[in-house]
Amino acid sequence: MAKKTKHHSALAEKDGITPPESLSTTAAEKLKKVRKSPPTTQQLIKGILKGDKTALSRAITSIESTAIKHRQQAKDIIDACLPHANQSIRIGITGVPGVGKSTFIEQFGTLLVSKGHKVAVLAVDPSSSISKGSILGDKTRMEDLVKAPNAFIRPSASGDSLGGVARKTRETIVLCEAAGYDHIIIETVGVGQSETAVHSMTDFFLLLKLAGAGDELQGIKRGIMEMADTIVINKADGENVKAAKLAKTEFNRALHLYPPKDNGWIPKTLTCSALTNEGIDTVLEVISKNISEAKTSGYFSEKRNQQNKFWLLQTIESRLKSDFFEKEWVKSALQEQLKKIEQHETTPFEAAEFLLQNTAT
Protein backbone atom coordinates (compact mmCIF):
# COMPACT_ATOMS: atom_id res chain seq x y z
CA MET A 1 0.00 0.00 0.00
CA ALA A 2 1.42 3.38 -1.07
CA LYS A 3 2.27 5.78 1.70
CA LYS A 4 0.38 9.10 1.53
CA THR A 5 2.55 12.15 0.99
CA LYS A 6 2.15 14.78 3.72
CA HIS A 7 1.81 18.32 2.31
CA HIS A 8 2.69 21.48 4.19
CA SER A 9 1.39 24.95 3.50
CA ALA A 10 3.71 27.59 2.04
CA LEU A 11 3.70 29.31 5.41
CA ALA A 12 4.70 26.13 7.19
CA GLU A 13 7.56 25.44 4.80
CA LYS A 14 9.00 28.96 4.82
CA ASP A 15 12.73 28.91 5.63
CA GLY A 16 12.45 25.15 5.96
CA ILE A 17 10.82 25.45 9.37
CA THR A 18 7.81 23.31 10.15
CA PRO A 19 5.71 24.70 13.03
CA PRO A 20 4.39 22.42 15.74
CA GLU A 21 1.23 20.65 14.62
CA SER A 22 -0.61 22.02 17.68
CA LEU A 23 -0.06 25.66 16.62
CA SER A 24 -2.91 25.85 14.10
CA THR A 25 -5.27 24.17 16.55
CA THR A 26 -4.32 26.55 19.36
CA ALA A 27 -4.74 29.60 17.11
CA ALA A 28 -8.15 28.39 15.96
CA GLU A 29 -9.28 27.88 19.54
CA LYS A 30 -8.12 31.37 20.54
CA LEU A 31 -9.87 32.91 17.54
CA LYS A 32 -13.05 31.01 18.37
CA LYS A 33 -12.89 32.22 21.96
CA VAL A 34 -12.42 35.84 20.89
CA ARG A 35 -15.37 35.65 18.53
CA LYS A 36 -17.61 34.19 21.21
CA SER A 37 -16.72 36.65 23.95
CA PRO A 38 -19.51 39.24 24.16
CA PRO A 39 -18.64 42.94 24.34
CA THR A 40 -18.53 44.52 27.78
CA THR A 41 -21.07 47.09 28.91
CA GLN A 42 -18.52 49.88 28.52
CA GLN A 43 -17.66 48.71 25.01
CA LEU A 44 -21.34 48.80 24.06
CA ILE A 45 -21.77 52.30 25.51
CA LYS A 46 -18.67 53.57 23.72
CA GLY A 47 -19.89 52.03 20.46
CA ILE A 48 -23.36 53.58 20.80
CA LEU A 49 -21.97 57.06 21.39
CA LYS A 50 -19.83 56.63 18.26
CA GLY A 51 -22.91 55.65 16.24
CA ASP A 52 -21.87 52.02 15.79
CA LYS A 53 -24.95 50.13 14.54
CA THR A 54 -23.66 46.77 15.75
CA ALA A 55 -23.14 48.04 19.30
CA LEU A 56 -26.57 49.71 19.19
CA SER A 57 -28.25 46.48 18.06
CA ARG A 58 -26.53 44.42 20.76
CA ALA A 59 -27.45 46.93 23.45
CA ILE A 60 -31.09 46.91 22.35
CA THR A 61 -31.07 43.11 22.49
CA SER A 62 -29.85 43.33 26.08
CA ILE A 63 -32.63 45.78 26.93
CA GLU A 64 -35.26 43.56 25.33
CA SER A 65 -34.08 40.53 27.28
CA THR A 66 -36.34 39.38 30.10
CA ALA A 67 -33.45 37.63 31.87
CA ILE A 68 -32.60 39.04 35.30
CA LYS A 69 -28.87 38.77 34.50
CA HIS A 70 -29.27 41.41 31.77
CA ARG A 71 -31.20 43.87 33.95
CA GLN A 72 -28.14 45.57 35.46
CA GLN A 73 -26.38 45.84 32.11
CA ALA A 74 -29.48 47.36 30.53
CA LYS A 75 -29.75 49.87 33.38
CA ASP A 76 -26.07 50.86 33.06
CA ILE A 77 -26.41 51.36 29.31
CA ILE A 78 -29.55 53.49 29.64
CA ASP A 79 -28.04 55.59 32.45
CA ALA A 80 -24.96 56.29 30.32
CA CYS A 81 -27.05 57.18 27.25
CA LEU A 82 -29.62 59.42 28.94
CA PRO A 83 -27.41 62.56 29.03
CA HIS A 84 -27.00 62.24 25.25
CA ALA A 85 -30.69 61.62 24.49
CA ASN A 86 -33.80 63.77 24.08
CA GLN A 87 -32.46 65.53 20.97
CA SER A 88 -34.60 63.93 18.27
CA ILE A 89 -37.98 64.41 16.63
CA ARG A 90 -40.17 61.40 17.41
CA ILE A 91 -42.81 60.60 14.80
CA GLY A 92 -45.49 57.96 15.30
CA ILE A 93 -47.00 56.33 12.21
CA THR A 94 -50.01 54.02 12.33
CA GLY A 95 -52.35 52.41 9.84
CA VAL A 96 -54.02 49.07 9.29
CA PRO A 97 -52.16 46.28 7.44
CA GLY A 98 -52.17 46.89 3.69
CA VAL A 99 -52.19 50.68 3.92
CA GLY A 100 -48.61 50.85 2.69
CA LYS A 101 -46.76 51.76 5.89
CA SER A 102 -43.49 50.12 4.90
CA THR A 103 -43.36 51.81 1.49
CA PHE A 104 -44.34 55.16 3.00
CA ILE A 105 -41.77 54.91 5.80
CA GLU A 106 -39.04 53.94 3.33
CA GLN A 107 -39.78 56.94 1.10
CA PHE A 108 -40.18 59.29 4.05
CA GLY A 109 -37.02 58.01 5.73
CA THR A 110 -35.06 58.26 2.49
CA LEU A 111 -36.19 61.88 2.12
CA LEU A 112 -34.97 62.68 5.64
CA VAL A 113 -31.62 60.99 4.98
CA SER A 114 -31.22 62.98 1.74
CA LYS A 115 -31.61 66.15 3.81
CA GLY A 116 -28.73 65.16 6.06
CA HIS A 117 -30.69 63.58 8.91
CA LYS A 118 -30.06 60.27 10.69
CA VAL A 119 -33.20 58.14 10.86
CA ALA A 120 -34.11 55.23 13.14
CA VAL A 121 -37.22 53.15 12.46
CA LEU A 122 -38.69 51.22 15.40
CA ALA A 123 -41.92 49.30 15.87
CA VAL A 124 -44.42 48.75 18.65
CA ASP A 125 -46.11 45.42 18.08
CA PRO A 126 -47.03 43.01 20.88
CA SER A 127 -46.81 39.52 19.41
CA SER A 128 -50.11 37.90 18.63
CA SER A 129 -51.14 35.63 21.49
CA ILE A 130 -52.27 33.12 18.87
CA SER A 131 -49.73 33.27 16.04
CA LYS A 132 -46.88 35.03 17.87
CA GLY A 133 -46.58 37.07 14.67
CA SER A 134 -44.86 40.43 14.39
CA ILE A 135 -44.78 43.26 11.85
CA LEU A 136 -41.10 43.54 10.98
CA GLY A 137 -41.00 41.95 8.19
CA ASP A 138 -40.46 45.66 7.51
CA LYS A 139 -36.67 45.38 7.60
CA THR A 140 -36.76 43.10 4.57
CA ARG A 141 -39.37 45.25 2.81
CA MET A 142 -37.44 48.53 3.24
CA GLU A 143 -34.60 47.34 1.05
CA ASP A 144 -33.24 50.77 0.05
CA LEU A 145 -33.54 52.47 3.42
CA VAL A 146 -31.85 49.62 5.28
CA LYS A 147 -28.76 50.09 3.09
CA ALA A 148 -28.44 53.80 3.92
CA PRO A 149 -25.49 54.51 6.25
CA ASN A 150 -27.55 57.06 8.19
CA ALA A 151 -30.58 54.80 8.69
CA PHE A 152 -31.21 52.16 11.34
CA ILE A 153 -34.18 49.78 11.24
CA ARG A 154 -35.01 47.66 14.27
CA PRO A 155 -37.56 44.83 14.27
CA SER A 156 -40.15 45.11 16.99
CA ALA A 157 -39.61 43.81 20.47
CA SER A 158 -41.68 40.68 20.94
CA GLY A 159 -43.80 39.96 23.95
CA ASP A 160 -47.31 39.31 25.16
CA SER A 161 -47.65 42.57 27.08
CA LEU A 162 -48.19 45.87 25.31
CA GLY A 163 -46.83 47.63 28.37
CA GLY A 164 -43.65 45.58 28.27
CA VAL A 165 -43.12 46.14 24.55
CA ALA A 166 -43.80 49.87 24.90
CA ARG A 167 -41.28 50.16 27.75
CA LYS A 168 -38.60 48.47 25.67
CA THR A 169 -39.39 50.78 22.76
CA ARG A 170 -39.08 53.88 24.95
CA GLU A 171 -35.69 52.69 26.19
CA THR A 172 -34.63 51.93 22.62
CA ILE A 173 -35.47 55.53 21.69
CA VAL A 174 -32.98 56.71 24.31
CA LEU A 175 -30.24 54.53 22.83
CA CYS A 176 -30.98 55.63 19.25
CA GLU A 177 -30.86 59.29 20.25
CA ALA A 178 -27.55 58.73 22.03
CA ALA A 179 -26.26 57.14 18.81
CA GLY A 180 -27.01 60.37 16.97
CA TYR A 181 -30.32 59.61 15.27
CA ASP A 182 -32.22 62.91 15.10
CA HIS A 183 -35.47 61.51 13.67
CA ILE A 184 -37.08 58.46 15.29
CA ILE A 185 -39.97 56.89 13.39
CA ILE A 186 -42.11 54.58 15.51
CA GLU A 187 -44.48 52.32 13.64
CA THR A 188 -47.49 50.48 15.01
CA VAL A 189 -49.58 47.82 13.34
CA GLY A 190 -52.74 49.93 13.61
CA VAL A 191 -54.95 47.51 15.52
CA GLY A 192 -55.67 47.18 19.22
CA GLN A 193 -54.27 49.59 21.79
CA SER A 194 -50.76 50.00 20.37
CA GLU A 195 -51.66 53.42 18.92
CA THR A 196 -52.13 54.81 22.44
CA ALA A 197 -48.69 53.53 23.43
CA VAL A 198 -47.05 55.12 20.39
CA HIS A 199 -48.89 58.41 20.92
CA SER A 200 -47.53 58.55 24.48
CA MET A 201 -43.92 58.53 23.25
CA THR A 202 -44.00 60.70 20.12
CA ASP A 203 -44.06 64.39 19.19
CA PHE A 204 -46.16 63.97 16.05
CA PHE A 205 -48.73 61.25 15.34
CA LEU A 206 -49.55 60.43 11.71
CA LEU A 207 -52.44 58.24 10.60
CA LEU A 208 -52.19 56.53 7.20
CA LYS A 209 -55.46 55.72 5.44
CA LEU A 210 -56.69 54.34 2.14
CA ALA A 211 -59.43 55.86 -0.01
CA GLY A 212 -62.65 53.88 -0.22
CA ALA A 213 -62.11 51.96 3.01
CA GLY A 214 -65.68 52.82 4.01
CA ASP A 215 -64.89 54.83 7.13
CA GLU A 216 -64.52 58.41 5.80
CA LEU A 217 -67.93 59.52 7.02
CA GLN A 218 -67.79 57.47 10.21
CA GLY A 219 -64.51 59.10 11.23
CA ILE A 220 -63.03 55.64 11.97
CA LYS A 221 -62.10 54.98 15.59
CA ARG A 222 -62.81 58.13 17.56
CA GLY A 223 -59.75 57.64 19.75
CA ILE A 224 -57.34 57.45 16.82
CA MET A 225 -58.91 60.48 15.16
CA GLU A 226 -58.41 62.46 18.35
CA MET A 227 -54.76 61.41 18.57
CA ALA A 228 -53.85 62.07 14.92
CA ASP A 229 -51.98 65.29 14.13
CA THR A 230 -52.38 64.62 10.41
CA ILE A 231 -54.19 62.05 8.27
CA VAL A 232 -52.48 60.97 5.06
CA ILE A 233 -54.42 59.19 2.32
CA ASN A 234 -51.85 56.88 0.76
CA LYS A 235 -51.89 55.18 -2.66
CA ALA A 236 -53.28 58.33 -4.32
CA ASP A 237 -52.09 57.26 -7.77
CA GLY A 238 -53.54 55.94 -11.02
CA GLU A 239 -57.25 55.24 -10.80
CA ASN A 240 -57.24 55.98 -7.05
CA VAL A 241 -56.50 59.72 -7.42
CA LYS A 242 -60.16 60.76 -7.63
CA ALA A 243 -61.19 58.57 -4.69
CA ALA A 244 -58.26 59.89 -2.64
CA LYS A 245 -59.31 63.51 -3.22
CA LEU A 246 -62.86 62.67 -2.16
CA ALA A 247 -61.59 60.90 0.96
CA LYS A 248 -59.44 63.93 1.78
CA THR A 249 -62.51 66.19 1.66
CA GLU A 250 -64.57 63.85 3.83
CA PHE A 251 -61.83 63.43 6.45
CA ASN A 252 -61.26 67.18 6.64
CA ARG A 253 -64.98 67.64 7.32
CA ALA A 254 -64.81 65.02 10.06
CA LEU A 255 -61.72 66.63 11.62
CA HIS A 256 -63.52 69.96 11.94
CA LEU A 257 -65.91 68.29 14.38
CA TYR A 258 -63.04 67.76 16.82
CA PRO A 259 -61.59 70.53 18.98
CA PRO A 260 -58.07 71.80 18.19
CA LYS A 261 -55.10 70.20 19.95
CA ASP A 262 -53.87 71.56 23.28
CA ASN A 263 -51.33 73.69 21.42
CA GLY A 264 -53.95 75.04 19.00
CA TRP A 265 -52.86 72.81 16.12
CA ILE A 266 -55.70 71.92 13.75
CA PRO A 267 -55.15 68.51 12.11
CA LYS A 268 -55.49 68.29 8.35
CA THR A 269 -55.71 65.61 5.69
CA LEU A 270 -53.14 65.14 2.92
CA THR A 271 -52.81 62.76 -0.01
CA CYS A 272 -49.68 61.00 -1.21
CA SER A 273 -48.40 58.07 -3.20
CA ALA A 274 -45.53 56.29 -1.55
CA LEU A 275 -45.26 54.14 -4.67
CA THR A 276 -44.53 57.12 -6.97
CA ASN A 277 -43.02 59.25 -4.19
CA GLU A 278 -45.57 62.04 -4.71
CA GLY A 279 -46.64 64.18 -1.76
CA ILE A 280 -44.04 62.81 0.67
CA ASP A 281 -42.24 66.16 0.79
CA THR A 282 -45.53 67.89 1.69
CA VAL A 283 -45.98 65.52 4.63
CA LEU A 284 -42.51 66.45 5.89
CA GLU A 285 -43.31 70.16 5.54
CA VAL A 286 -46.45 69.78 7.66
CA ILE A 287 -44.58 67.84 10.36
CA SER A 288 -41.74 70.39 10.40
CA LYS A 289 -44.25 73.24 10.76
CA ASN A 290 -45.99 71.49 13.65
CA ILE A 291 -42.73 70.83 15.51
CA SER A 292 -41.47 74.37 14.90
CA GLU A 293 -44.67 75.92 16.29
CA ALA A 294 -44.67 73.54 19.27
CA LYS A 295 -41.08 74.46 20.16
CA THR A 296 -41.73 78.18 19.81
CA SER A 297 -44.78 78.07 22.09
CA GLY A 298 -43.10 75.82 24.68
CA TYR A 299 -45.64 73.06 24.07
CA PHE A 300 -42.94 70.70 22.78
CA SER A 301 -41.02 70.57 26.07
CA GLU A 302 -44.25 70.59 28.10
CA LYS A 303 -45.52 67.53 26.22
CA ARG A 304 -42.18 65.75 26.69
CA ASN A 305 -42.37 66.40 30.44
CA GLN A 306 -45.88 64.96 30.61
CA GLN A 307 -44.73 61.90 28.67
CA ASN A 308 -41.79 61.40 31.05
CA LYS A 309 -44.17 61.43 34.03
CA PHE A 310 -46.37 58.88 32.29
CA TRP A 311 -43.32 56.72 31.55
CA LEU A 312 -42.37 56.83 35.24
CA LEU A 313 -45.73 55.43 36.32
CA GLN A 314 -45.69 52.82 33.54
CA THR A 315 -42.17 51.72 34.48
CA ILE A 316 -43.11 51.28 38.14
CA GLU A 317 -46.18 49.28 37.17
CA SER A 318 -44.17 47.09 34.80
CA ARG A 319 -41.37 46.50 37.32
CA LEU A 320 -43.77 45.59 40.15
CA LYS A 321 -45.56 43.13 37.90
CA SER A 322 -42.30 41.59 36.71
CA ASP A 323 -40.88 41.25 40.23
CA PHE A 324 -44.12 39.72 41.50
CA PHE A 325 -44.26 36.92 38.94
CA GLU A 326 -40.53 36.17 39.27
CA LYS A 327 -40.92 35.11 42.91
CA GLU A 328 -40.58 31.34 43.28
CA TRP A 329 -43.39 31.17 45.84
CA VAL A 330 -45.72 33.01 43.48
CA LYS A 331 -44.92 30.66 40.60
CA SER A 332 -46.02 27.58 42.56
CA ALA A 333 -48.88 29.25 44.44
CA LEU A 334 -50.24 30.70 41.22
CA GLN A 335 -50.54 27.25 39.67
CA GLU A 336 -52.42 26.03 42.75
CA GLN A 337 -54.86 28.94 42.55
CA LEU A 338 -55.39 28.38 38.83
CA LYS A 339 -56.33 24.76 39.51
CA LYS A 340 -58.74 25.85 42.24
CA ILE A 341 -60.40 28.24 39.79
CA GLU A 342 -60.80 25.42 37.26
CA GLN A 343 -62.41 23.27 39.96
CA HIS A 344 -64.63 26.16 41.10
CA GLU A 345 -63.07 26.09 44.57
CA THR A 346 -62.26 29.81 44.51
CA THR A 347 -62.91 32.95 42.47
CA PRO A 348 -60.35 34.98 40.51
CA PHE A 349 -60.72 37.82 43.02
CA GLU A 350 -60.19 35.58 46.06
CA ALA A 351 -57.18 33.93 44.39
CA ALA A 352 -55.64 37.31 43.59
CA GLU A 353 -56.21 38.54 47.14
CA PHE A 354 -54.59 35.39 48.53
CA LEU A 355 -51.49 35.78 46.34
CA LEU A 356 -51.10 39.49 47.02
CA GLN A 357 -51.58 39.26 50.78
CA ASN A 358 -49.20 36.34 51.22
CA THR A 359 -46.57 37.99 49.03
CA ALA A 360 -46.70 41.17 51.09
CA THR A 361 -46.13 39.33 54.39
User: What is the mean predicted confidence (pLDDT) over 129-133?
Assistant: 42
Please say if the pLDDT value at position 287 is more than 90.
yes
| Gap between the Cα atoms of 40 and 45, Å rounded | 9
Residue at 161 is within a domain: yes
Our count of domains for the chain comes to 3
Residue at 12 is within a domain: no
Residues 62 and 125 in one domain: no
Domain containing residue 52: CATH number: 1.20.5.170
Residues 290 and 315 in one domain: no
Residues 6+ apart with CB under 8 A from 85: 173, 174, 175, 177, 178
Tell which of 296, 317, 346 closes a domain. Answer: 296
Residues 129 and 100 in one domain: yes
User: What is the mean predicted confidence (pLDDT) over 147-166?
Assistant: 75
Q: What burial class does residue 345 get, using C-beta atoms within 10 Å of its C-beta: 0-12 exposed, 13-18 middle, 19+ buried?
A: exposed
Give the pLDDT score at 38: 84
Residue 58: domain span: 36-84
Residues 168 and 245 in one domain: yes
Percent of the chain whose predicted confidence (pLDDT) is above 70: 79
Residues 281 and 327 in one domain: no
Higher-confidence position of 36 and 239: 239
User: What is the mean predicted confidence (pLDDT) over 284-295?
Assistant: 96
Residues 287 and 317 in one domain: no
Cut 0.85: pTM above it:
no
- 267 Cα distance to chain centroid: 25
Residue at 4 is within a domain: no
pLDDT in tens, 250-267: 888 888 888 888 888 999
Residues 279 and 327 in one domain: no
Please say if the pLDDT value at position 173 is more than 90.
yes
Domain containing residue 164: CATH number: 3.40.50.300
Higher-confidence position of 18 and 169: 169
Residues 59 and 194 in one domain: no
Please say if the pLDDT value at position 9 is more than 70.
no
Q: Which residues share a beta bridge with 187?
A: 93, 123
